[in-house]
């Protein structure tokens, strides 16, 4: 799946001028050789188990980006918030900061996200399908553009049975061609159905 930005002006709750719009081409993504893959930082909100703390910088950034979404979640019967799991990473190039982040939560709380299959069968996918959010921020003027790309894999397993060392998401950034590539490793093996490419403006 190869996606491109096109610009339309919008204003979101972050109080920033944002550009939105997407174009998708459904086809198998083959990665070019020589990419430098960066593993996304995994963190969670309203989830107290260890292994989901993330770095302080990542938590602060993710909270700023996803706060309106988190606040929109419905209340639960026990008055607790729905847990939300986030993968996030950043790159800087050509005077811009590129932020790639994806949030997953129960589809009841976050309908754009599709829950993983409910099965104990071996090799059952353990990733959710959720929008990938790409934020591009000017390092000089602070202007920000943002786009959500639907149906990206978000793998957030990090326990004794399925640790993050065997289940993680990565992004590679090709500054020369203004392309970003996304891949997922599941059960210690690539999940090619999760391969994605994004053409950046």
> Cα separations (Å) of 174 from 32, 134, 155?
10, 15, 23
Q: Is residue 37 part of a domain?
A: yes
Q: Is residue 120 part of a domain?
A: yes
Domain count, the chain: 1
Instruction: Output the pTM of the full model.
Output: 0.85
Q: Is residue 117 part of a domain?
A: yes
Q: Is residue 178 part of a domain?
A: yes
Question: Which residue range(s) make up the domain with 175?
Answer: 2-24+33-72+82-199
Q: Is residue 77 part of a domain?
A: no
Question: Shortest CA distance to 182 belongs to which of 18, 24, 39, 17?
Answer: 39
Q: Is 107 helix (H, G, I), strand (E, B) or coil?
A: coil
CB-based contact 102:133 (threshold 8 Å): yes
Q: Which residues contact 114 (CB under 8 A, 6 or more apart)?
A: 107, 128, 129, 130, 151
Question: Shortest CA distance to 126 belongs to which of 94, 163, 89?
Answer: 163
**Type and span of the H or E element at 133:** strand 128-138
Q: Is 181 helix (H, G, I), strand (E, B) or coil?
A: strand
pLDDT tens per residue, the chain (201 residues)? 444 443 333 323 232 222 233 333 346 888 999 999 999 999 999 998 999 999 999 999 999 999 999 999 998 877 788 999 999 999 999 899 999 999 999 999 999 999 998 877 778 999 999 999 999 999 998 889 999 999 999 999 999 888 999 999 999 999 999 999 999 999 999 999 999 999 998
Q: Is residue 147 part of a domain?
A: yes
């Amino acid at each position: 799946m190869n996606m491109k930005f096109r610009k339309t002006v919008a204003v979101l709750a972050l109080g920033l001028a944002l550009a939105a719009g997407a174009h998708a081409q459904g086809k198998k993504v083959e990665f070019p050789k020589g990419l430098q893959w960066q593993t996304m930082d995994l963190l969670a909100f309203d989830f107290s188990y260890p292994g989901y703390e993330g770095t302080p910088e990542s938590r602060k950034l993710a909270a700023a980006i996803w706060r309106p979404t988190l606040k929109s979640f419905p209340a639960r019967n026990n008055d607790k918030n729905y847990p939300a799991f986030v993968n996030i990473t950043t790159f800087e190039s050509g005077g811009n900061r590129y932020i790639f982040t994806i949030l997953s939560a129960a589809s009841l709380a976050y309908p754009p996200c599709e829950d993983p299959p409910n099965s104990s069968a071996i090799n059952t996918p353990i990733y959710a399908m959720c929008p990938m959010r790409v934020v591009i921020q000017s390092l000089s003027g602070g202007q920000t553009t943002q786009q959500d790309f639907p149906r990206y894999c978000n793998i957030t397993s990090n326990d004794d049975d399925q640790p993050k060392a065997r289940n993680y998401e990565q992004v590679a950034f090709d500054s020369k061609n203004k392309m970003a590539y996304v891949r997922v490793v599941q059960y210690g093996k690539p999940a090619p159905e999760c391969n994605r490419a994004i053409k950046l403006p």
